[in-house]
Amino acid sequence: MNNGLSKEEQIDNGKLTKRKGDWCEIIVQAHFRKLGWLIYEKKSGPIDMIIINEETGEVRFIDVKYKNMRKGTQTYGARINRVVTTPLKNFIKIEIAYVDDNKNIEFAYADGIEKWHKEYKIKRNEKGKYTGEVIRR
């Protein structure tokens, strides 16, 4: 697929994306370390880190993403949602942690869309599109 960029521009963009991803992982690691979790970084594969709570022994699998925002006119400012695509998701719960430019961390809802719709209600505008405002939690 041709995106209009030269091979050199694509390589530069890839390096920038990797640096940004590494930075996001460090932010999430620091967050969990402050909360008393042990951090095990990935060596390969789709999971960025495995964390273990030192007090409870709880184990969590975390995939870290940079929080990109949509730039389209109708969806401007909405987060671009990512999904876990690895078949591992059928065996273990992999949580997605989003990091924005201000080092804020936001976790995606990981219990499935059906359960999410039971727990949350989002306001819609006069055209029926979601506004992002949470009405019920």
pLDDT in tens, 95-122: 888 888 888 888 876 666 677 667 777 7
How confident is the model over 21-68, as pLDDT tens digits? 888 999 999 999 999 999 998 877 788 999 999 899 999 999 998 887
Q: Find out whether 94 and 88 touch, Cβ atoms under 8 Å.
A: yes
Q: What is the assigned CATH class of domain 7-111?
A: alpha beta
Q: Exposed, middle or buried: residue 110 (CB in 10 Å: 0-12, 13-18, 19+)?
A: middle
Q: Tabulate helix, strand, coil % of the chain (nearest 5).
A: 30, 30, 40
Asked if the model's pLDDT at residue 12 lies above 60, the reply is yes
**Token reading at 17:** 């994306």
Query: What pLDDT score does 86 carry?
Result: 80
Spell out the alpha helix ranges (H) of the chain.
7-34, 113-119
Please indicate whether residue 78 or residue 90 has the higher confidence score (pLDDT): 90
Of 69, 95, 66, residue with least CA distance to 83: 95
- The ranges assigned to domains in the chain are 7-111
pLDDT at 2: 58
Residue 126 vs residue 119, higher pLDDT: 126
At 127 the pLDDT is 80
CA angle, 115 as apex, 66 and 130 as ends, to 5°? 60
Q: Which two tokens stand for residue 61?
A: 């699998």
pLDDT score recorded for residue 27: 93
Residues 6 or more apart whose CB falls under 8 angstroms from that of 21 comprise 64, 65, 66
Please say if the pLDDT value at position 72 is more than 70: no
